[in-house]
Amino acid sequence: MLSGCATMSGQAQVVSNPVFVRANNSDEAWERTVDVVHDYLFEIERENKLGGILETRYKTGANLLEPWHRDSVGAANRAESTLQSIRRKAFLSVTPVEGGFMVGVEAHKELEDVARAANSAGAATFLDNSPLQRDLNPVVGQASPSGWIPKGRDMALEQSMLTAINRAFGQ
């Protein structure tokens, strides 16, 4: 009750996903969409211009000391990426429709699953009072490969990219 209208003015406008954009041809729509992906410093893993599908490589989440990276949207996501190993991947679609194109964005976020510390300085110390023992099958690095835990879609990144796409098309 006390917040009233003050809460409404601080909220960003939600952009529909997919978003309708006006473009003269498919090449213009595709190139402007790719430009937005590059603005977010994502590397493109796979693109199919004819099918209208673009997939990025996984990108490590930007931390507090990397303000030029735009993949961690908002203070909470940036703090999370600073304290945890986070990575993101985006899928974009460009579909022709009557009068323009529909551009959709799906951004997925994953958290690294590390069971324990991978390396320790204490593991390299040797005891003087024990006889030499040889390990003929040494394990180098982590005993088991680390995995990634899906955290679902990153709606903040999706909204940020959709807003940038709208701006790129002058809407």
Domains detected in the chain: 15-114+146-168 (3.30.530.50)
Q: Which two tokens stand for residue 73?
A: 């949207």
- Reduced DSSP (H G I as helix, E B as strand, rest coil) percent helix, strand, coil of the chain, to 5: 25, 25, 45
Q: Average pLDDT for residues 89-110, to the nearest whole number?
A: 95
Is the pLDDT assigned to residue 100 strictly greater than 80? yes
| Averaged confidence pLDDT in the chain | 83
Q: How confident is the model at residue 135 (pLDDT cuts 50, 70, 90)?
A: low
Helix (H, G, I), strand (E, B) or coil at 93: strand
Torsion, Cα of 97, 21, 160, 7 (10° steps): -100
Cβ contacts of residue 167 below 8 Å, gap of 6+? none
pTM, entire model: 0.74
What are the residues facing 20 on neighbouring strands? 102
> Between helices 155-168 and 26-39, what is the axis angle to 10°?
130
Tell me the pairing of strands 86-97 and 59-60.
Answer: antiparallel
Q: What secondary structure letter does DSSP report for 85? A: -
Is the pLDDT assigned to residue 46 strictly greater than 90? yes
Q: What secondary structure letter does DSSP report for 71? A: S
Q: Which range has the top average pLDDT, 73-77, 127-131, 145-149, 164-168?
A: 164-168
Q: Which stretch of 65-74, 99-108, 114-123, 156-165 has the lowest confidence by average pLDDT?
A: 114-123
Is the pLDDT assigned to residue 3 strictly greater than 50? no
Residue 8: its pLDDT value, please?
A: 45
- From residue 33, alpha-carbon distances to 40, 50, 52, 77, 99 in Å are 11, 14, 10, 24, 17
The position carrying tokens 């977010």 is: 40
